[in-house]
Structure 1
Amino acid sequence: MIKIIGLDPGMSKTGWAIIRLEEKNNIKFLGGGTISTDGKLGVGERLHIIFEQLKKVIFLYSPNEAAVEKIFINKNPKSSLTLGYARAIAILILRMTDLPMNEYDANYIKKSITGNGHADKGQIIFMVKQIVKSSNIKCHHTADALATAICHAYTKNFCFMGIGS
């Protein structure tokens, strides 16, 4: 049984989602959430919160693989740099827990989930709810992380080869 953690890293909010591939073309949403950090805290403290919370999620769900949304270059260089810090922490904890990891561009994730590489947040939320047959996904950070995990399953052809069963 394959479990995948999808991550949508961010300094203020890091989305995470866990899926399990149960049988051919059946993806079960096991859990998801958003790790929030207070902007009043220092960078080191915020990164430590992200690290510790992701570590708890990984140990709770024991995923086999990981998928992380790649960084996009923002118009504001400081925002891009800050996002890079959060991604680095996410990648570090995945490496420390020996999880195989793949990275995906946001447009690739959107296209694999909705068929449109420029889909908006509402379309992503709608489609991931349809795919995992759950209405418990309310936050777009969680939905983005879930989309990343589903994209990984599709890209690796897990859903089409019956590997999840």
Structure 2
Amino acid sequence: MTLRILGIDPGLRTTGFGLVDADGPRLRYVASGTISTAEAATGDLPARLKIIFDGLGEVVERWRPACASVEIVFVNVNPQSTLLLGQARGAALAALVASGLAVSEYTALQMKKAVVGHGQARKEQVQAMVQRLLALPGLPGRDAADALGLAITHSHASRTFAAIERGAVRQRHTRAQYKRGRSY
């Protein structure tokens, strides 16, 4: 069964998005791009957040993903930048949830480990591996590559979680039963 996954790399100036179709271990590129808030004035935060919200709503409406994955933001050196980035991330999450999508969250470290193989990978390495994994004719942009990397990460993780869930269903054994109803 094919699962269409939307990856989001949130940013106040540029929010990256990427869609992949996952059919078991096979991945197929669907689309990617960025939502730029450059048309809004630098100090007009509500207008920028609206652009992100509306832009992701359009992406979801056009491509109809089954689920989404978003990068978790950590505290940067500048707390003001972190707060602004958090608000952009909130607008992205709100757009996804308003569209009825299930949202998973991954750190940049988790994404880099899943795509490149180590958490200290540079942006260029992520771009090159995304290009290779999805058989793209050229390097995707930095924000789009991170978003595609998040979609790939969710593809790997969702298969693992599904396998764990299938294995977690167990029958209750009446032998080796302890007092108070516990058994194994």
Question: Could you tell me the TM-score, scaled by structure 1's length?
Answer: 0.91
Q: Distance in 2 between matches of 1:107 and 1:89?
A: 22
Residue 76 (structure 1) aligned to one of 50, 72, 78: 78
Residue 56 (structure 2) aligned to one of 47, 54, 57: 54
Q: Distance in 2 between matches of 1:140 and 1:91?
A: 21
Q: Distance in 1 between matches of 2:51 and 2:143?
A: 17
Unaligned 5+ runs, structure 1: none
In the alignment, what sits opposite 2:173?
A: none
Q: Distance in 1 between matches of 2:138 and 2:18?
A: 12
Unaligned 5+ runs, structure 2: 164-184
Offset, 1:97 = 1.1
1:92 aligns with 2:94: yes
Identity of aligned residues (%): 35
1:18 aligns with 2:19: yes
In the alignment, what sits opposite 1:120?
A: 122
> 2:131·2:140 contact (CA, 8 Å) conserved in 1?
no
Q: Distance in 1 between matches of 2:94 and 2:139?
A: 26
Q: Please tell me whether Structure 1 or Structure 2 has the larger radius of gyration of its CA atoms.
A: 2
> 2:71·2:108 contact (CA, 8 Å) conserved in 1?
yes
1:36 aligns with 2:42: no
SS in 1 for 2:7: strand
Change (3 A) 1:37 1:71: same
Q: Distance in 1 between matches of 2:24 and 2:109?
A: 26
Offset, 1:40 = 2.4
Runs of 4 or more off by more than 6 Å in structure 1?
none
SS in 2 for 1:156: helix
Q: Distance in 1 between matches of 2:135 and 2:10?
A: 24
In the alignment, what sits opposite 1:64?
A: 66
Offset, 1:137 = 4.1
In the alignment, what sits opposite 2:171?
A: none
1:132 aligns with 2:134: yes
Q: Distance in 1 between matches of 2:137 and 2:10?
A: 23
Give aligned pairs, total. 159
In the alignment, what sits opposite 2:7?
A: 6
Offset, 1:138 = 2.7
Offset, 1:136 = 4.3
Amino acid at match of 2:88: A
Q: CA RMSD in A?
A: 1.6
Q: Distance in 2 between matches of 1:53 and 1:137?
A: 23
